[in-house]
Amino acid sequence: MSTDILIPTVGESVASGVISKWLKADGAFVKRDEAVLELETDKVNMEIVAPADGILRHAAKEGDTVNVGAVVGRMEAGGSPAASAASVASESGSATSVLAPPAVDTVKTSDQAANGEIRATPLAKKVAAEHGVDLSKVSGTGAGHRVREQDVIDFVKGKSPAPAAAASTPTKAPAPAPSGPRATTIERMPPIRQRIAQRLVEAQHTAAMLTTFNEVDMTRIMALRAKYKESFEKKHGIGLGFMSFFVKAAANALVEFPMVNAYMVKDAEGHPAVQKHAYADIAIAVSTPKGLVVPVLRNAERMSFAEVESGIKELATKARDGKLTLEEMQGGTFTITNGGVFGSLMSTPILNPPQSAILGMHATKNRAVEDPDKPGQVAIRPMMYLALSYDHRMVDGEGAVRFLVRIKDQLENPERILLEV
C-alpha cells in the first residue's frame, strides 16, 4: 500500500512550480509531516511534507516543472529508518562499501550508450541538469565508464575530452569548450525571477510612470535614534532602525494623499475606476538570494515603531529563508525600497502593480548644504536622496511632489510623525 505525494494548491494564481531540491533521498524512511522536498513557484517557495510514514519513492527529478495536483512521489508502507539507510547506501554505491566494484562488460556498456542509456551517478545527473550538459558527450571515469560529478564539472570547465569518434567515420575535431575568463554557463531562470521580470515589464508597459526627487536631512533622526536606541531595544526587545521612521511617515502621508494609496481598476461594467483604501498596507522590498520580494506590513498606519520594526524583521527573516506565504506578499497599497543598503546614491524605482507609487530610499552621505539653523551659511549634513515613482494616470505631478515633501518634512522633524501633523 502506498500514499501519493501531491503538489498542493498554493493560490489561485499559482498553477505550477519547480522541484528545487529533494530533502530526502529516494528509498529513505520518512515520518508523516516531515519535509521531503522544496517547491519553488513564481510567488513563494514552500516545503512539501510526507502524507504518511513509510519509504519515500521519487516520481519526479530536481529541476522538473510540476503542475498543481501532480504526483511527484509516493510513500510506501512499511520499512524502518535502519533498513532505509542501508537501502539508500546500497543504491548510491557508497564509498564506504567493503565490496569491490563488479567487473563491467565493455561491450554491454557500449550497447547501453547506443540505446540512449547514460551510466551516471545521481549527483552527476543533477550537476549536468544545472549546467545544461548532455551526458552523452561526457567521458566517464568511474567504474564501467560511469560518469561522475567531477567528470561533469571538468567538462563544464573545458577539461574533459569529447567521446572518441568511430574509426571508420572521419569527423572534424570539435572546437574546444571555452574555459578560463571566457567560459560561459547557462542556468535556468528561477520561477520567482521570471515573475519579477514579467511584473517589471508589465509596469513599464501599462503605467504612465514618472519619478520625482527630493532630499532629506537625516540629522535629527540620526540623533534621535542614537539617543534612544538602547532604551528602545531594552524595552521592546527589537532594535530601532531607520525604516520604521520612513514607514510611519509614509503611512501618515498616504492618509493625506489617498490617490497615492489607490489602484486603477475596472468597475462592474468594465470602465476605468479608482479603488481607494482606508488603510496603508505598506510593502517592504527585501533582497533574497533568489530575487527581490515585497512582503506586506498590514495596517501600518496603526502600528507603533516597535511593531513596525518587529514586523519588518519577521518578514525579512522569512523572505531570506524562503518561508513567506502567498498571503504575506499580496495586497500592498504602497511600496518602500531601500537601495541605500547596497550603496545606491540615486535611482528610479519601478512600480509594483497595481500600486500607484513606490518610494525609493538611498545611501546617506555627508554633503555641504545650507545650514537650516543659520541661513546663508554652509554646513556639512547627512543627506539622503528620496525618489517617488508614480503612475501619472492616477497621481498628478503636484500631488506626487507634495506627497514627497510631506514625507521629507516629517523625517526632518520626527515629532511630526508621532503627532501626525
Q: Which residues are catalytic?
A: 392, 396
Q: How far apart are the first and last CA of the chain?
A: 68
Of 143, 146, 88, 148, nearest to 123 by C-alpha is 148
Residue type, 51: P
With cell 512550480, the residue in question is 17
| C-alpha 383, offset from chain centre | 31
- For the record, the C-alpha cell of 180 comes out as 578560463
Enclosing H/E stretch for 197: helix 191-206
Residue pair 414/404 in contact (Cβ under 8 Å)? The answer is no
Question: Is the omega angle on the peptide bond into residue 289 within 30 degrees of 0, that is, cis?
Answer: no
Cα 113 to Cα 132: distance, rounded to the nearest angstrom: 19
Q: Give the number of other Cβ atoms within 10 Å of residue 406's Cβ.
A: 19
Count CA atoms within 13 Å of residue 267 on its CB side.
Answer: 6
- Tell me the β-bridge partners of 297: 282
Residue pair 394/360 in contact (Cβ under 8 Å)? The answer is no
Residue pair 2/69 in contact (Cβ under 8 Å)? The answer is no
- DSSP sequence for 64-104: -EEETT-EEEEEES---HHHHHHHHHHHTT-TT--SPPPP-
Q: Give the number of other Cβ atoms within 10 Å of residue 215's Cβ.
A: 16
Cα 418 to Cα 416: distance, rounded to the nearest angstrom: 5
Give the strands of the sheet with 45-49, arranged side by side: 45-49, 35-40, 16-22, 65-67
Q: What DSSP state is assigned to residue 416?
A: H
